[in-house]
Amino acid sequence: MAVTIKDVAKIAKVNPSTVSRVIADSPLISVKTKKVVREVMNQLGYHPNINARNLVNQRTQSIGIVMPSSTEKAFQNPFFAEVIRGISSSAHNKKYSLFLSTGETEEEIYDGVIQMVQGKRVDGIILLYSRINDQIMEYLIKQNFPFAVIGKPDKNADSICYIDNDNIQASFEVTNYLIELGHERIAFIGGNPDLMVTTDRLNGYKHALTASGIPISKEYIVHDEYAKEGGQEAVNVLLSALNQPPTALIVADDLMAFGVLSTLHEKKIRVPEDISIISFNNLMLTEFSRPPLSSVDINIFQLGFEAVNCLIASVQHPKKEVKRFIVKHQLIKRDSCQ
């Protein structure tokens, strides 16, 4: 027979209502009483009926996670594994479970979000990206449903809970670093231009060139997908189409940069002797690449961790001003630039 609250209360010599308050971690119950009740719960193997409690509280204690379109390709990028690790750590601390959307197309993902919201499967949603004119974000705003964005929204930023780096400043610093090394022909390899992270990093690159009096050349700006293959295709475009190839590359994502390194190696172009490379994200593999890759550490884990904190604050206090959090970045200099 299953252990009940009454069983716990009898052995702990308290009222059943006290046991309920201990489960809810009520501040009205003393630390001493909580310790006694929890010891009895462990002794008896009692586990609260979360579903029943959630029905009473009208909460699911679950958070929805929305990946970019093409989940298969997204999971090839270690960024998403690390950001979900940060989300999972914070959610575990707050006793929330995770509900992952796994659609392959934008329409499949959109339908999945509608099911999460209308079916009341989650208390709030975290978007792992920020896209210009994103229909999912617009839907969540219209539904007045709690959500947080990892990335900067393209509009309504003052009323949306978001967690991001200062990507404009980070890219500005990266470009200046290459300029200080003596480079003037600096190319930018970015991801999907509809993503705000791409837009911000491109803007930082342009601002730094303009501030140093270096003309911005459209031929030195290439966009492709955030994947190894994207980096390979982008660098092939740069090297095949230009009379004066760049002496340095800023790549908007480490996984793309690995593709760039692979292609350059095949073409017997040396890094950094012939061309310098710097990237973003500082994935663990960057220090093991050949040569070790200079990269901007954007604290991916912290992005995920703070996203949960911001979202739950919005869920629990919907009338309070939404929170926003800028995670610090750091340029990690290795051997891919000279």
Instruction: Select from 190, 196, 73 the least CA-distant residue to 131.
Output: 196
DSSP count for the chain of H helices, then E strands: 13, 12
Do the bridges between strand 330-332 and strand 324-326 make them parallel or antiparallel, or are there none, so unpaired? Answer: unpaired
Instruction: Select from 215, 211, 206 the least CA-distant residue to 184.
Output: 215
Domains of the chain and any CATH numbers: 5-48 (1.10.260.40), 62-165+301-328 (3.40.50.2300), 167-297 (3.40.50.2300)
Residues 224 and 227: their CA atoms lie apart, in Å, by: 8
Residues 275 and 273: their CA atoms lie apart, in Å, by: 6
Which helix (H) or strand (E) element contains residue 217? Answer: none
What pLDDT is stored for residue 72 in this prediction?
60
Name 99's bridge partners.
Answer: 64
| Mean pLDDT per 10-residue interval, the chain, length 338 residues | 83 88 81 91 78 56 87 77 96 91 84 90 94 93 95 88 97 98 96 92 98 95 79 84 90 92 92 97 92 97 96 87 90 97
